[in-house]
A and B are shown apart, each in its own frame.
Chain A
Amino acid sequence: MTVLLLQIPALKLLALKILALKIPALKLLALKILALSGGLELLPLEQPPALPEPAIQASQAPDGETESAAGFSGHYPAGVAWWGTWEGASVEARRSGKPILLLSAAPQCHGIPGIW
């Protein structure tokens, strides 16, 4: 019954609005609602979820940097600035005091380079 109730699009929209409020305790509740309801597939197409403004900015080149910056943003959307070695990352983490997001991946597949 609970799962059926969660299929109601209005509830999903409510969950999305709660997410946008950035209240940690409510975020968890909202995520649980979305997880149980299987994501967004039942949302009406004319009401896509609005991304927070900083996220939209992160995917775009900043205004007024250079004339070319806006031009190539389509080819090279913003990306994560990865440190390639543990030594470099740990020095930077000590310098900046930021926590470390650590990922490892193999730059080869079946011995063929050029693909993760």
Chain B
Amino acid sequence: MDQSLWSDPLVIEASRKFVCARLATYEDAGEGKFLEGIYRGRSGQLENTVFVILTSDGKTRLSRSGRSPTMVFGGAVGWEGTVLALEMDNIAEAHPPPKDHKSAAGPALPIAKSVRLAVNIAACDRLPLVISCGLDDTQLQSLATVGWKEPYLGRLCWASTDEPAQLKEVGIEKPSAGIWVVQPGNFGLQVEVITKVAADADPQKIARVLDQALETSRRSQKYTRAHVAQGQRLGKKWQTEIPVTDPGIPPQGRGRPGRRPGG
């Protein structure tokens, strides 16, 4: 995945007019089937990346589908982000939310499928991760209300579970109910706890710990070849939920990181 495209200020601004879904390829059988229906390359198999824009009911395509926004919308070198943002603006203008569309409740937390996957994604994004454990619906909504505000919007990753064992799996020694703010390890397998607050903490207290996460963490730079080589040397491995079928990627544990397959 080309992260530079998604950190383009024009693209970020345009993204606020969309619900942006970034599914983890090969991490859910049902989503894998769905993605296969959206785009398959020449191999006829699900490839590493998929991109499309859909209507709010998810049934109609508003753009062609492809491996990436650049494949779908094009753009001269250095202008891919600008072209994507303009196309997004055009689509958003042509398909605004219905005027009579009203919803009493606010958005939920944009969580990953599991804590294990969320830690990995947070490491990929190089962002702190907030894990809610054992929160009731009211507490979750309170956390979501804070999380969708600036400056937290798009600067944190999120996970939610009712199973303390999921916290133990990622290295939290004494898991318990509450809101955990953690820093993912370099390889996204373990975490370091930054702070934790009670499940019933008020919004001001929650905002303070999120501030703390953003203030104390530093966003490290990652280089694909060096990261993969180091991971292989240290024996860091990730087992996907379903088999990797991208023809550009050798079976796990074989081959060298000669090129970046993410596109």
Residues of A within 8 A of B (CB): 19, 22, 24, 27, 31, 34-35, 37-41, 51-52, 54-59, 61-62, 65-66, 68-69, 71-73, 75-86, 88-116
Contacts and interface: CB of A to CB of B under 8 A. Distances in A.
B16 to A, nearest CB: 8
A98 B19 contact: yes
A110 B250 contact: yes
A85 B19 CA distance: 11
| Chain B interface main SS type | loop
Contacts of A91: 108
A109 B226 CA distance: 11
Contacts of A54: 13
Contact of A98 (B18, B48, B111, B185): B18
B214 A72 contact: yes
B19 A99 contact: yes
Given A75-B214, A102-B53, A106-B25, A81 B148 contact: yes
Contact of B20 (A62, A78, A80): A80
Contacts of A61: 150-151
Given A113-B120, A113-B188, A81 B154 contact: yes
B180 interface: no
Given A35-B76, A61-B151, A65-B150, A109 B227 contact: yes
Nearest to A90: B58
A115 B111 contact: no
Given A102-B38, A109-B262, A79 B19 contact: no
B168 interface: no
Most buried by B among A27, A82, A114: A114
Given A101-B19, A106-B48, A115-B222, A78 B155 contact: yes
Contacts of B189: 113-114
Contacts of B217: 75-76
B13 A82 contact: no
5 contacts: A58-B10, A95-B103, A99-B95, A104-B22, A115-B123
